[in-house]
């Protein structure tokens, strides 16, 4: 299906529904279970949509969170990663922690999505130390 009104309507409905279900799917799951919501293999029904359109719609869909308020970047990241994959692209979901929070009772973490090494959904925040990439890069797993 080529980029047109019908494809965009289907995409927006799929994104909206996914955004509403994500808080239930994430719940209090562990990190490995959450990463299963960002599959590495996916059909590409949205291949004809521009990545800029996908990112814009993800940002718009999650701008007023009812749930996952304290994990907004995770919601954005999982949705951005998933829908960019469904567009046939090869995004990376990156995770980082604030080094200053290492000695605090609650760790401050953040995630963002990159395409070709550049942030497209959210971005690394100052003081964040990257701790994981999904999928793991070949260089990182070889070291």
Q: Which long-range contacts (CB under 8 A, 24 or more apart) does 29-32 make?
A: none
Alpha-carbon distance of 139 to 143, in angstroms, equals 6
> What's residue 51's pLDDT?
96
Mean pLDDT score of the chain: 86
Alpha carbon 107 to chain centroid, angstroms: 20
Of the candidates 66, 97, 96, 62, which has an alpha carbon nearest to the alpha carbon of residue 79?
62
Q: Which of 10-19, 103-112, 133-142 has the least mean pLDDT?
A: 133-142
Question: Where is pLDDT greater, at 80 or 39?
Answer: 80
Where in the sequence is the domain holding 92, given as residue range(s)? 5-142
Separation between Cα atoms, residue 130 and residue 137, nearest integer Å = 13
- H helical segments located in 86-123: none
Of 31, 29, 56, give the one whose Cα is nearest residue 134: 31
Contact criterion met (CB below 8 Å) for 73 and 122: yes
- pLDDT-based confidence at residue 69 (cuts at 50, 70, 90): low
Is pLDDT at 96 greater than 50 in this prediction? Answer: yes
User: Could you give the number of structural domains in the chain?
Assistant: 1
């Amino acid at each position: 299906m080529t980029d047109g009104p019908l494809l965009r309507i289907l995409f927006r409905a799929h994104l909206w529904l996914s955004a509403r279900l994500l808080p239930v799917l994430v719940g209090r799951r562990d990190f490995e279970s959450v990463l299963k919501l960002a599959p590495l293999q996916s059909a590409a029904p949205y291949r004809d949509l521009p990545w800029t359109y996908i990112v814009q719609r993800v940002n718009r869909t999650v701008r007023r969170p009812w749930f996952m308020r304290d994990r907004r970047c995770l919601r954005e990241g999982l949705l951005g990663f998933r829908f960019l994959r469904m567009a046939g692209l090869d995004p990376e979901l990156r995770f980082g922690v604030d080094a200053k929070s290492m000695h605090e009772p609650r760790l401050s973490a953040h995630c963002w999505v990159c395409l070709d090494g550049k942030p497209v959904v959210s971005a690394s925040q100052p003081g964040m130390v990257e701790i994981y990439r999904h999928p793991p890069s070949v260089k990182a797993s070889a070291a």
